Chain A
Amino acid sequence: MSEARERRLRLSERLALRLHLGVCAGCDNFRKQLDFIGTAMRRFRRRDD
């Protein structure tokens, strides 16, 4: 998932990831947490602007 933020995943990789996220609640939480961290960093950047 971290790699997906750096480069476009191949279709097979995206599918595998999708399937896994469907069954792994931990990974699904992880994905949302990574998204939140991205949001928080964007906010953090702007705090001094």
Chain B
Amino acid sequence: MGIPSEDLPRMRSYLLRYATLQLRDPALAEDVVQETLLAAFNSPSRFSGKSAYKTWLVGILKHKIVDVVRKRSRDQSLFAVEETPESEAAEEYFAADGHWREFPSNWGNPEQSLEDKRFWVVFERCLEAMPVRAARAFMMREFMELTSDEICKELAITSTNLWVLLHRARLSLRGCLEVKWFDGATGQK
């Protein structure tokens, strides 16, 4: 049956957000979403419910994203190489005497937040706020579940580079969540 035309803009923007989060490249994200909608349009779907249809669309998109990621290692222009030395990243988070600049607080029982819709809004924003290179590596690892070898090959980096990128990504995400959700010094909301 396909998707009712009034739902299409919202579905499209959802797919676009999903793709951008992983690809960090608006043009590329546009492309894969277009391809997804085209593929969906061209294949008859027998889904009765909107949510089942959405899941199916996301499934197609997921595959296309992984395909793009695997193919684009040949296209150097998509990956501007920013040199961020490991020492720089460490200085952001630790003072000269080795102590934390901003002491990680106790988040108490953070699992409770996973049931809160508002948490996921903040979580996604924090994902979007990560430094681009680190975010790409992080999403390839934690979301697309590619192996370290695959990621290193696609990004043309060493495993040490990868570790540094993932570390930066986690530090960024952790810091963002602490400030924007867990409220830093005051503990859990």
Contacts and interface: CB of A to CB of B under 8 A. Distances in A.
A48 to B, nearest CB: 5
Contact of A6 (B18, B54, B106, B148): B148
Contacts, number: 63
A35 to B, nearest CB: 9
Nearest to A48: B58
**Chain A: interface secondary structure?**
helix
Interface residues of A, number: 24
B123 A33 contact: no
A37 B170 contact: yes
Interface residues of B, number: 30
A45 B103 CA distance: 29
A32 B107 contact: yes
Interface of B: 18, 54-55, 58, 99-100, 103-107, 110-111, 114, 120, 123, 142-143, 145, 148, 159, 162-163, 166-167, 170, 173-174, 177-178
Given A2-B166, A33-B177, 8 more contacts: A6-B163, A29-B104, A33-B104, A36-B111, A37-B170, A37-B177, A43-B114, A45-B142
